[in-house]
């Protein structure tokens, strides 16, 4: 399952779930829209991982939890701690990032 944030509360998802993968995106970002269904497919395959989509422009506190210089940026968190991140529109690169924490 993928959760899209409606408020700037990513920190609570990271605290409440063992493994979290975040897609930082924006409404204007074409590559973000391209990656969204791929993220949903990956989320359906990994039930023990929490996937979250955070609008990097609307939610500055959530954005601070990773280094978001380009979109889409994907970040992984394990047991409340930041693990790694990539900026990509390639599914294989995203999958490699996720495999580091599952």
pLDDT in tens, 11-51: 999 999 999 999 999 999 999 999 999 999 999 999 999 99
Residue in the structure block whose two tokens are 């955070």: 54
Could you give all domains of the chain from N- to C-terminal order, each with its CATH number? 2-99 (3.40.30.10)
What pLDDT does residue 1 have? 85
What pLDDT does residue 33 have? 96
DSSP letter at 66?
Answer: S
> Which of 32, 42, 56, 94 is labelled catalytic?
32
Active site residue 68: no
What pLDDT does residue 80 have? 97
Query: Helix/strand/coil (H, E, C) string of 5-65?
Result: CCCCCHHHHHHHCCEEEEEEECCCCHHHHHHHHHHHHHHHHCCCCEEEEEECCCCHHHHCC
> Which of 14, 21, 22, 29 is labelled catalytic?
29
Active site residue 92: no
pLDDT in tens, 77-92: 999 999 999 999 999 9
Which pTM value belongs to this model?
0.96
Interacting residues of 1 by C-beta distance below 8 A, sequence separation 6+: 43, 44, 50, 51
């Amino acid at each position: 399952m993928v959760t899209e944030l409606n408020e700037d509360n990513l920190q609570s998802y990271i605290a409440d779930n063992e493994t979290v993968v975040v897609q930082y995106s924006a409404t204007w970002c074409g590559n973000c829209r391209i990656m969204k269904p791929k993220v949903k497919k990956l989320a359906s395959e990994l039930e023990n991982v929490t996937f979250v989509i955070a609008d990097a422009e609307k939610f500055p506190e959530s954005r601070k939890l990773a280094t978001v210089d380009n979109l889409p940026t994907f970040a992984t968190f394990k047991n409340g701690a930041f693990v790694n991140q990539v900026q990509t529109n390639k599914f294989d690169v995203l999958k490699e990032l996720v495999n580091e924490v599952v």
